[in-house]
């Protein structure tokens, strides 16, 4: 049984059956889905999720609670996968789609060489992404990871990923470090975003940052001493204002306040109607593991525009 819900109201989005999906509507799959930051961003752009995968049981509860209402077939027809490693035949087990999205974990890659390309990624979750792309040949991919991936193992991990995408799979490969604060959210949260197209000639550039309009005072609805907040984390609580490891305590209207899911949703760009049918501890963990929705949405919009221009 899930823990007591923090918020009781479900997000309300009109339902659409799979049979009613227009043939021109962009379809995507949501791998390592968490609570659905990619799903939310692309849904806001009119795209349709046809397959999702998330292994964490608590995150799955939150994901289905919020997205079943507008995408019932995703859950009723077993397209909400529990373990991506159980997808042995992507061609048969995953519906056709246009864009693959995912914030994949940076598992340790092989330390022996980094010279075998596709073969060298076996045993990592990135391999499943590469395998699905190889089998399904989507028009584009959109991946997210921590900025440390660039320097992991002296850069060899990232070089392997780029080589697999370009040389082994034949896709273009664009990447950029993007902060949540670049797209309207008062949170640093630098993340490595990677985009590629099946047609390497597809013109693409990352969107330009926009001015920051919200501050932490906006988030708390009271004067806060910080303009831009700390990066949300996925584990545990901070240790108060005086601790160098603090990330969730702020001085607000002269008093120390800790973030709750109410503020966390705002910092990640989720709507107020997004609900957490789990404990507050789980909700904060899930928010810390999620993506910043407006940043993802801005890049996804550029991807969709690039695809439309290249028809």
Kindly list the catalytic residues.
Answer: 106
CB 47 within 8 Å of CB 99: yes
Minimal CA–CA distance to 144: which of 265, 270, 52, 31? 31
State the Cα–Cα distance between residues 39 and 29, nearest whole angstrom: 8
Other CB atoms within a 10 A radius of the CB of residue 221 amount to 12
Would strands 27-31 and 48-53 be described as parallel, antiparallel, or unpaired?
A: parallel
State the Cα–Cα distance between residues 38 and 269, nearest whole angstrom: 11
- Torsion sign, CA atoms 290, 16, 183, 226: negative
**Cα 227–chain centre separation:** 24
Q: Which residues lie across from 190 on neighbouring strands?
A: 179
State the Cα–Cα distance between residues 303 and 198, nearest whole angstrom: 12
Segments in 185-292 forming alpha helices (H): 216-220, 261-268, 280-289
Q: Which residues lie across from 195 on neighbouring strands?
A: 142, 174
């Amino acid at each position: 049984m899930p823990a007591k819900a923090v918020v009781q109201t479900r997000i309300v989005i009109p339902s659409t059956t799979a049979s009613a999906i227009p043939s021109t509507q962009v379809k995507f799959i949501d791998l390592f889905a968490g609570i659905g930051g990619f799903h939310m961003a692309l849904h806001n752009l009119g795209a349709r999720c046809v397959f999702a995968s998330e292994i964490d049981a608590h995150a799955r509860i939150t994901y289905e609670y919020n997205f079943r209402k507008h995408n019932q077939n995703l859950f009723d027809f077993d397209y909400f996968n529990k373990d991506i490693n159980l997808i042995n035949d992507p061609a048969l087990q995953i519906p056709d789609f246009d864009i693959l999205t995912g914030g994949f974990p940076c598992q340790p890659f092989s330390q022996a060489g980094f010279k075998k390309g596709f073969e060298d990624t076996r045993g990592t979750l990135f391999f499943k992404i590469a395998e699905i792309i190889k089998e399904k040949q989507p028009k584009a991919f959109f991946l997210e990871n921590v900025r440390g991936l660039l320097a992991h193992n002296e850069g060899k991990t990232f070089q392997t990923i780029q080589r697999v995408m370009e040389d082994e799979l034949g896709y273009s490969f664009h990447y950029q470090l993007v902060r949540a604060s670049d797209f309207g959210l008062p949170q640093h949260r630098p993340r490595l975003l990677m985009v590629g197209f099946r047609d390497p000639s597809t013109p693409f550039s990352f969107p330009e940052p926009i001015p920051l309009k919200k501050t932490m005072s906006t988030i708390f609805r009271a004067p806060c001493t910080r303009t831009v907040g700390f990066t949300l984390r996925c584990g545990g609580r901070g240790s108060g204002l005086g601790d160098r490891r603090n990330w969730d305590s702020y001085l607000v209207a002269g008093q120390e306040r800790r973030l709750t899911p109410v503020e966390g949703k705002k910092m990640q760009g989720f709507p107020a109607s997004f609900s957490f049918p789990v404990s507050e501890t789980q909700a904060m963990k899930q928010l810390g593991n999620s993506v910043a929705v407006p940043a993802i949405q801005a890049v996804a919009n550029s991807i969709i525009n690039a695809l439309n221009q290249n028809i």
